[in-house]
Structure 1
Amino acid sequence: MVTYMEKTSEIMKELANSKKINVEKNNGIKERFSYEKLLKSLVMVETPFFESDKIVAQVVSSLYDGIKTKEIKKIVYECLEDIDGEIANKYLASTQLKVRTSRDTIEAFDLSKIANTLIEETGASQETAFEIATEVWKELKKLNVEYLTAPMIREMVNTKLVEYGLEDLRSRYTRLGIPVYNITSLIENGNRDNANMIHNPESIHKHVADEALKQYALLQMLPSHLADAHMSGDIHIHDLEFFAGRPLNCMQHDIRTFIKYGLKVDGTGDHTSVAGAPNHMETLMNHTGEIMLASQQNMSGGQAMSLWNVFVAPFARGRTYEEIKQSVQMLIYNLNMAYAARGSQVPFTSMVLEFGVPKFLQDVTAYGPKGQVVGTYGDFEEETRLIQKAFTETLLAGDQEGKPHLFPNTIYTLREETLKGDYEEDLHLVHELSAKYGSSYFINMLPDYRGKMANYMGCRTCLQDNWTGDWEQDCLRTGNLAYVTLNLPRIGYQSKDESQVFEYLDEYMDLAAETLMLRREQGLKCLNDFHILPFLKQKVGEDSYYRIQNSTLSFGFVGLNEMLLSLFGKGIEDKDANKFGVKCIEYLNERADKLKEETGLRWSVLQTPAESTAYRFATLDKEQFGDQAIVQGDGSANYYTNSSHVPVNTDVSLIDKIKIEEQYHSLTPGGHIFHAFMGESYSDPDSLMSLTNKIAKKSDIGFWAYSSALSFCLNCKTLMKGLNNKCPTCGESEDVEWYDRITGYVQQVGRAKSSSGGWNPGKRQELIDRRRFEDE
């Protein structure tokens, strides 16, 4: 028999659902009013059932389309105050008082967290800690603010500690950009957000500075709705620490500029020595490395050079092969030993090599020693091939101990003429490199969506001659200005049907587009007003070196597979679900095209290189959505599948994986990659070479790499295939280092017998989950 209260609840639920009211959240995104969500918030603070129904009735009677979340919370709080002040306080703490944490998240206020940090960081007794936390809570209730920040709460705690005469505790709890406790942890344990950085004084210095600049961007530069969207996990704003001072991301250089005009590494020549146009190949090799390093100081992302061996070829004229190789060796070692990029890293560099002189460059004017015209690049076919061979052989040899050279990311361009037989020996050598280290990448210029030119800048960000049609303007002296990533799985959890997916995509893209425009505006200020990017701003002829007007503003995305699983119960491997996935990414491109028309700027879509974002989104969504969240991993370390990739532990064949993922490469002109995680059977260069021919000629895959897991014994210097816990040569287990491709580039994972290392927990779990393809 249905009771009166149950009947009333059912009526309230039907009434609320029948209104189909949209509620506007603090970040501007709208969602349908949920009776269940409101009731749950009341149950969580132990509101009596009968009183809950009355409060819901009061809220439902006040609803209107577009009502703000804070209005609903105010109604609920006022109702609860009339019923029970203690329950009202609980509700205020759990729903109204939100805290922007130093971990870039938004969380409900929790008094016990103040107490626990006091105990952990200062050694305060439990009694003292909770007494101080309670006093702070009393003060916070009086504040009429939508959001608290972790620094604000910390300062209020410090004030209370002073009032209580606890100066010794205050000195340990105070904030120096970041808490004293966190700085101590950095010094003692390091940080694993960036796999390209090791634990040393410079990386500690960088992390402390980064934290202050991140908070500056979130509090000072971004409107609250954009900061909220990032911290809550709707979107991810990459490189927040560089938003204020280094807002420009990746760069594709033109070495010809420096061949003609010489080099000023500070951009002005006021603070460093100035070099004229180079006269020798060795000088040009040195300049190549210095250009990458100098530009890295002005930018947040990777530094790349395309057509490099073609443009350098005139300097190799008259040189023996041994002399050419010696010069190339000097460059590669310098790039891997220039331990001077931000945070004490080597510069993040990429080199795009050609097997010969492309047809469109045959008649282009060539510049040689002292910047003089020396004919056309078609005159230097032999030198172009010798430089590529020298580069590949140097990488194949590894360093003195047999470890792979991790930089530059070396990218080989495949064109129709490349695969016709004349370059077979050169191709085989490159596939020896792939079989040994798995470090080389391939650009496929054969698909119909390609033009004359496409270049990649490390992990996957890409430029193609599809903006103005001029390969120089579109692809050189510019890059990806910035990208913002959309949390696709969250859209799946929130959407009632397929049509609502596109509503959420629009809202998330609105947030991303607004962020990207702010970032571009800051980039212009840094270049033109603040004068803090002199290398990029330097004059070359009549123009500035960096072409910001041709740079891309990109929408990235993570977790298409998990979004499809949430919506359909089937992931990207299912043909019907995948059709909807393609439709969604086509929709992103349509929006990018509209923005091009509206703004005159170069908008694009890319597969995000989500080294940390896939882990961050999954962790946040697991906390917010509980069992509704569909994540990869073992529970202790969750992650989402990267962009539109097939899950790394998939059972589909390599051919089927290619067929699924190739559909997305033409839809992500801002950057993409196909990962082939290869097993032992593909240690044979001939097998890889055969596979390359099939991928290039029979698929729309635009960019890919054959990734092999490696182990290296630091004790006896033995290189091994696979992830080995013990060296078979000397029996060592403590000093076995693992290597694999993290997201784009090959990097150390860490020690086999240690949970520490360069990769975050989500990426380490992904590494364990990866299924390796054997000969099929």
Structure 2
Amino acid sequence: MENKFKTGVVTPKVKLTVVKNSGVVEKFTYEKLLKSLVMVEAPFFECEKIVSDVVGSLYDGITTKEIKKMVYEDLEVVDPEAANKYLAKVTLKVRTSRDKIEPFDLSRIANTLIEETGASQETAFQIASDVWKELKKLDVEYLTAPMIREIVNTKLVEYGLEDLRSKYTRLGIPVYNITNLIENGNRSNANMMHNPETIHKYVADEALKQYALLHMLPTKLADAHMSGDIHIHDLEYFASRPLNCLQHDIRSFIKYGLKVDGSGDHTSVASAPSHMETLMNHTGEVMLAAQQNMSGGQAMSLWNVFVAPFARGRSYEEVKQCVQMLIYNLNMAYAARGSQVPFTSMQLEFGVPDFLKDVTAYGPNGLNVGTYGDFEEETRMIERAFTEMLLKGDAEGKPHLFPNTIYTLRPETYKGDYEEDLRLVHELSAKYGSSYFVNMFPDYRGNMANYMGCRTQLQDNWTGDWETDCLRTGNLAYCTMNLPRMGYTSKDEDEVFEQLDDKMKMVEEVLMIRRQQGLHALNDWNILPFLTQDYEDDTYYHINNATLSFGFNGLNEMLLALFGAGIEDKDSNKFGVKVVKYINDHAHDLQEETGLRWSTIQTPAESTAYRFASLDHEMFGDKAILNGTQGAYYYTNSSHVPVDTDVSLVSKIKTEEQYHRYTPGGHIFHAFMGESYSDPDSLMSLTEKIAKNSDIGFWAYSSALSFCLKCKTLMKGLNNKCPTCGETDEVEWYDRITGYVQQVGHAKSSNGGWNAGKKQELMDRRRFENE
């Protein structure tokens, strides 16, 4: 029989069929078999012998896998190198990261090692050869790129090349975890619902967290985080969004218009707004756009003062309509960070503050329209309209969860005619528990203090200039120390401070790495274009004015471990204050030493309090002092009094106020109110007392709410059954999780965003009644 290779190979006289790996049956052709040997440069005459040998062993229905095995075994006897090439070419197929199936290529392993890790050629080819020896032993139809990479990493470890392994490691998430995310969601962020975008976010988050821990952070710091000595927040954003919270200056956009992409190259460009309606839209778009560049909250302080010139000549009903548009915009822009609405806060003034009355005001088309003191009535009108629209709730009567609405209490607030406006705000507090209050009375305050979400804060104690210190900057990052663990492992007070020094050094290193990443992201890589856009020959975001904050969690449990008494005990509390002051003094020393803005913060710890407690339970067993129950342990947040402690509201204020002056990076006082405080007048009286007689800097009256999805009834307290229609399965719970009001989930369901520790803390909260 004649063939194109003109060989003397005897071909079978009967027609044989071969079963391929895919199950397809086709006719056997000896030409294809011979060609496969020639292509790997096997000795030509040996090829004829091998083909003849194989053909003699064929039977109808033989598999291609069996044929290849026979060829490889015969070829290995005469030419091992060619046999390896043959095996790699026709037997070992690789599903690559380029979504292709390719023949195995040993040199590709060596080349990637050289390119990705800087390994020498000699080392790279030695590792690649060892990997090939392992792969030959595998009886698999396909290899995958991750499988090969893991075998390479194993060899790197065997050779003691851990530094190369850390660079070569593949980042990802197990199949099981992705399946679980799709089916059950995640509980690490209560502000996120379960949908396709959040699934994408969590998968990406996991890879980026691994990248930060394996590639960006020294092993000592990564280990400290994973073991629970410290908690590095927002690891998923460490590489690409290293900046946390941002305090905007709406005047920049009033004067110069808006480029939501930072350049105008990819989106439409808006000129300076001419009407209040346009400015409302721009306000929402600014926060949504900045959220693409930031990992934390977006805030605007003095907002109603700066917007006031646009309300000149408008009726109150028109102003309300404009404000309503903004509120719905902020609550319905479901497009930020994995299908969340932007995390937004508005800080409102009851009137124009004294220090702003002579400052130049900008109005429609960015024009100078006098000074802000000329717009007192418009400032008040916008604040009143904002409060009324929040008080109304949404179309179903539920609270608007964003923006966090913050009201500034100044000495001039209680000197002016603001009683009616104050009462309206306290109606909002009594109904939804969503209002926040900033206290400008304490002696540690200046002209300005603004908050950016859960509690992160800026005040004019950096340079003394309120614009430099409080606008177009924010909290760059914070990192939290596990205080209870220091209590478990310290023999005395001196050792506590030694451990504090050690952990603060770790936090300092983490924050400096993150700041450096922020500088790269802003200045070198052009991945934060909104923040780097030009305003008045300057970039919008001022990183040099941003805070780097030392966070802490579980002060109460540390005191219990050391003294057997917690923060509500006066003697224990003295040491607690000493500890937090020590941290803050260290931050001040760092400011002098580095010229950077170091600070101390009461960490929000939405998930950190749960994580620390769970890790310490594993590590210390019964020695760990925990709140909650098995599977739902938690530590007391920052320097708060435990939520279930039976102390009066006055005592709680007197204990916690001592910490606010030492936590200028952020703090909050939670007053978990019972139904007797549904009276706005009672709350209003309490507010005045707190403002004038305490050092509490920031607080909220938190109320537990229930809402029936069936009949749209809003109820006080955590109710399992609607009193109006009797519904039990469709009753939602709401409360403040750490610094913002959020849905807990259905009363009879595990659905909802709160993690197990926070849900247990919710059930443990003691509510204050009228005292």
The 1-side partners of 2:443 and 2:589 are apart by 23
- 1:643 paired with 2:638, answer yes
Q: Please tell me the residue identity of whatever aligns with 1:340.
A: A
Aligned to 1:606, the other structure's residue is in SS state: strand
Aligned to 1:540, the other structure's residue is in SS state: coil
The 1-side partners of 2:603 and 2:626 are apart by 17
Shift of 1:728: 0.9
Aligned CA distance change for structure 1 residues 528 and 731 (closer, same or farther; 3 Å): same
- 1:688 paired with 2:683, answer yes
Aligned to 2:742, the other structure's residue is in SS state: strand
Aligned CA distance change for structure 1 residues 503 and 281 (closer, same or farther; 3 Å): same
The 1-side partners of 2:280 and 2:456 are apart by 25
Q: 1:444 aligns with which of 420, 439, 443?
A: 439
Aligned to 1:434, the other structure's residue is in SS state: helix
The 2-side partners of 1:462 and 1:749 are apart by 26
Deviates more, 1:545-554 or 1:159-168: 159-168
Aligned CA distance change for structure 1 residues 163 and 342 (closer, same or farther; 3 Å): farther
Shift of 1:420: 2.9
- 1:312 paired with 2:299, answer no
Indicate conservation of the 8 Å contact 2:171/2:211, yes or no.
no
Aligned to 2:734, the other structure's residue is in SS state: strand
Shift of 1:169: 12
Shift of 1:530: 0.4
Corresponding residue for 1:191? Answer: 186
Within a 5 Å distance, the mapping from 1:398-413 to structure 2 comes to: 398-413=393-408
Within a 5 Å distance, the mapping from 1:340-419 to structure 2 comes to: 340-419=335-414
Within a 5 Å distance, the mapping from 1:269-348 to structure 2 comes to: 269-348=264-343
Shift of 1:176: 7.7
Corresponding residue for 1:494? Answer: 489
- 1:229 paired with 2:224, answer yes
Q: Please tell me the residue identity of whatever aligns with 2:443.
A: D
Corresponding residue for 2:579? Answer: 584
Aligned to 2:574, the other structure's residue is in SS state: helix
Shift of 1:172: 12
Corresponding residue for 2:671? Answer: 676
Q: Please tell me the residue identity of whatever aligns with 1:545.
A: Y
- Deviation digits for residues 572-602 of structure 1 (CA, Å, limit 9, x no counterpart): 0110000000000111011101111111000
Corresponding residue for 1:620? Answer: 615
- 1:506 paired with 2:534, answer no
The 2-side partners of 1:464 and 1:204 are apart by 37
Indicate conservation of the 8 Å contact 1:172/1:180, yes or no.
no
Shift of 1:310: 0.1
Q: 2:716 aligns with which of 711, 714, 721?
A: 721
Indicate conservation of the 8 Å contact 2:482/2:612, yes or no.
yes
Runs of 4+ in structure 1 off by over 3 angstroms are 159-176
Shift of 1:165: 3.9
Corresponding residue for 1:32? Answer: none
Q: 1:249 aligns with which of 244, 250, 273?
A: 244
Aligned to 1:412, the other structure's residue is in SS state: strand
Q: 1:478 aligns with which of 462, 469, 473?
A: 473
- Deviation digits for residues 270-328 of structure 1 (CA, Å, limit 9, x no counterpart): 00000000000000000000000000000100000000000000000000001000000
- Deviation digits for residues 188-222 of structure 1 (CA, Å, limit 9, x no counterpart): 00001000000000000000000000000000000
Indicate conservation of the 8 Å contact 1:434/1:706, yes or no.
yes
Corresponding residue for 1:148? Answer: none
Corresponding residue for 2:738? Answer: 743
Indicate conservation of the 8 Å contact 2:550/2:600, yes or no.
yes
The 1-side partners of 2:239 and 2:141 are apart by 35
Indicate conservation of the 8 Å contact 1:161/1:170, yes or no.
no
Aligned to 2:270, the other structure's residue is in SS state: coil
TM-score by length of 2: 0.79
Q: Please tell me the residue identity of whatever aligns with 2:329.
A: N
Shift of 1:623: 0.2
Corresponding residue for 2:551? Answer: 556
Within a 5 Å distance, the mapping from 1:531-542 to structure 2 comes to: 531-542=526-537
The 2-side partners of 1:693 and 1:161 are apart by 75
Shift of 1:636: 2.7
- Deviation digits for residues 86-106 of structure 1 (CA, Å, limit 9, x no counterpart): xxxxxxxxxxxxxxxxxxxxx
Aligned to 1:178, the other structure's residue is in SS state: coil
Q: Please tell me the residue identity of whatever aligns with 2:224.
A: A
The 1-side partners of 2:483 and 2:171 are apart by 36
Corresponding residue for 1:110? Answer: none
Shift of 1:160: 9.0
The 1-side partners of 2:684 and 2:617 are apart by 42
Q: 2:426 aligns with which of 431, 438, 451?
A: 431
Q: Please tell me the residue identity of whatever aligns with 2:652.
A: K
Shift of 1:164: 5.9
Aligned to 1:441, the other structure's residue is in SS state: strand
The 1-side partners of 2:584 and 2:327 are apart by 38
The 2-side partners of 1:362 and 1:300 are apart by 34
- Deviation digits for residues 3-42 of structure 1 (CA, Å, limit 9, x no counterpart): xxxxxxxxxxxxxxxxxxxxxxxxxxxxxxxxxxxxxxxx
Q: Please tell me the residue identity of whatever aligns with 1:321.
A: Y
- Deviation digits for residues 229-285 of structure 1 (CA, Å, limit 9, x no counterpart): 100100000000000000000000000000111100000000000000000000000
Aligned to 1:725, the other structure's residue is in SS state: coil
The 2-side partners of 1:690 and 1:715 are apart by 36
- Deviation digits for residues 346-381 of structure 1 (CA, Å, limit 9, x no counterpart): 000000000000000000000000000000000000
The 2-side partners of 1:280 and 1:162 are apart by 73
Shift of 1:635: 2.4
Indicate conservation of the 8 Å contact 1:675/1:705, yes or no.
yes
In structure 2, runs of 5+ residues without a counterpart are 1-129, 151-169
Corresponding residue for 1:465? Answer: 460
The 2-side partners of 1:420 and 1:386 are apart by 18
- 1:593 paired with 2:573, answer no
Q: Please tell me the residue identity of whatever aligns with 1:417.
A: E
Aligned to 2:579, the other structure's residue is in SS state: helix
- 1:758 paired with 2:753, answer yes
Corresponding residue for 2:34? Answer: none
The 1-side partners of 2:436 and 2:538 are apart by 33
Indicate conservation of the 8 Å contact 2:171/2:207, yes or no.
no
Q: Please tell me the residue identity of whatever aligns with 1:564.
A: L
Shift of 1:541: 1.2
Corresponding residue for 2:448? Answer: 453
The 1-side partners of 2:136 and 2:415 are apart by 78
Within a 5 Å distance, the mapping from 1:194-213 to structure 2 comes to: 194-213=189-208
Corresponding residue for 2:656? Answer: 661
TM-score by length of 1: 0.78
Shift of 1:170: 9.1
Shift of 1:440: 0.5
Q: Please tell me the residue identity of whatever aligns with 2:529.
A: P
The 2-side partners of 1:641 and 1:203 are apart by 29
Q: Please tell me the residue identity of whatever aligns with 1:282.
A: E
The 2-side partners of 1:211 and 1:691 are apart by 45
- Deviation digits for residues 37-56 of structure 1 (CA, Å, limit 9, x no counterpart): xxxxxxxxxxxxxxxxxxxx
The 2-side partners of 1:171 and 1:542 are apart by 49
Q: Please tell me the residue identity of whatever aligns with 2:646.
A: D
The 1-side partners of 2:593 and 2:141 are apart by 58
- 1:769 paired with 2:764, answer yes
Aligned to 2:744, the other structure's residue is in SS state: strand
The 1-side partners of 2:135 and 2:496 are apart by 49
Corresponding residue for 1:218? Answer: 213
Q: 2:696 aligns with which of 698, 701, 707?
A: 701
The 2-side partners of 1:249 and 1:578 are apart by 31
The 1-side partners of 2:171 and 2:200 are apart by 13
The 2-side partners of 1:712 and 1:674 are apart by 26
